[in-house]
Structure 1
Amino acid sequence: MAKKTLVIGASTDPSRYSYLAANRLVSHKHEIELLGVKEGVVAGKEINTEKEKFEDIDTVTLYVNPQRQSEYFDYVADLKPRRVIFNPGTENPTFEDFLTEKGIEPIEACTLVMLATGQY
């Protein structure tokens, strides 16, 4: 079943994991939305530079280091995703506890590995 996913920390740089994840999500038939610092296009989608109120987000996958995540706490909670994936290097117990209190499942995992192993 396709899961609409918001990639936070999206980048047009092909060497970035967020770039690889966006493309891999699309190749696995998942609808994506992208949020990043710089405008551009990845996997046929525009990168939004403003925190849009996206609808029907099932999963948020994070590619932003913990020091920059505080600005996303309320934004992500307001989207009401089912889960948030904390990719390697983004783990943040404070954010994870905040999400758990809001009824959102935090997962410390790698989106790319989850897709490759059918666990997404």
Structure 2
Amino acid sequence: MEAEKMSDKLTLIVGATTNASRYAYFAASRLTNAGVPFIPIGIKSGEVFGEKIMDLRTKPELQNIHTITLYIGPSNQEEWIDYLISLQPKRIIFNPGTENPVFFTKAKAKGIEVLQACTLVMLGSNQY
């Protein structure tokens, strides 16, 4: 079986922001540098590394999402859990501070790989 290429790992950055001091922004930068296509989505508007931030509140229909990387805390996840699972990603990365046992359980029940990890570390250590 051929290994997946980085360009095949379309990533949804949940909690995307134009604020250069936020981890979601760093993730967009690192994904760009690694050649990983991404879709930024959140409640803030703007553009990140040439990609327009989609409005999470509209729950846009998206296809072929490989990875969801979360940058919103558990208290802000509840209304988005079913939507994010409906996108049928292969995996969801719960970055530090986003861990949510309810979300873990629901995602695993749908056959989605759940990782408590850091997207930035994964990219930096070639584990993405």
Calculate the TM-score normalised by the size of structure 1.
Answer: 0.97
Aligned equivalent of 1:82, options 63, 85, 90: 90
Please identify, of 36-45 and 57-66, the stretch whose mean Cα deviation from structure 2 is larger.
36-45
Tell me which structure has the larger Cα radius of gyration. Answer: 2
Structure 2: gaps (5+ residues): none
CA distance in 2, matches of 1:88, 1:33: 20
Q: Percent identity?
A: 47
State the 1:27 CA deviation: 0.8
**What amino acid is aligned across from residue 94 of structure 1 in structure 2?**
V
State the 1:26 CA deviation: 1.1
1:40 aligns with 2:46: yes
List per-residue Cα deviations over 1:88-109 (Å, max 9, x = no partner).
0000111001100011111000
Match of 1:117 in 2: 125
Count of aligned pairs between the two proteins? 120
Structure 1: gaps (5+ residues): none
Calculate the TM-score normalised by the size of structure 2.
Answer: 0.91
1:101 aligns with 2:101: no
Runs of 4+ in 1 over 4 A off after TM superposition: none
Determine if contact 1:84/1:107 at 8 Å carries over to the other structure: yes
State the 1:40 CA deviation: 0.3
Say what the alpha-carbon RMSD is for the aligned residues. 0.7
Match of 1:17 in 2: 23
State the 1:69 CA deviation: 0.6
List per-residue Cα deviations over 1:27-85 (Å, max 9, x = no partner).
10011001111110001100011321111000000000000111111111110000000
